[in-house]
Homo-oligomer: A and B are copies of this chain.
Amino acid sequence: MRRDIFQAIADPTRRAIIALLAIQAMTPNNLATHFDTTRQAVSKHLKVLTECELVTQQYQGREIYYLLEIEKMKEIDKWLEQFRKIWETRFSQLDDLLSAIKKQQK
């Protein structure tokens, strides 16, 4: 089963969970109150996030606090790096090609 960080952030509910956990660690029950779904659905999202190592668990009695592994988020940043290089260059290779094609069409 494909299970990477890009798949993890593809779902809007999971992105919201990540954002909530970025502020503070929370239990599944607590998290579920923020959404319009059942606790079990949130739990399933947490399972996906755990498998991607985006969250870890902190057991406290019968409660389980989920913590965001913010370092993992850097993987997205790392992937974006190649594009950042391009968009930070005003006259990029892309623009050159585009101009070339347009010129060719005249």
Contact = CB atoms under 8 A, between A and B. Distances in A.
Contacts of A73: 80, 83, 87
B7 A10 contact: yes
Contacts of A23: 93
Interface string A61-73: 0000101101101
A60 interface: yes
A25 interface: yes
Assign chain A's interface to a size class: 35 or more
Majority secondary structure of chain A interface residues (helix, strand, loop or mixed) = helix
Given A73-B80, A73-B83, A97 B7 contact: no
Interface of A: 2, 4, 6-7, 9-10, 12, 15, 19, 22-25, 58, 60, 65, 67-68, 70-71, 73-74, 76-77, 79-80, 82-84, 86-87, 92-94, 97-98, 101, 104-105
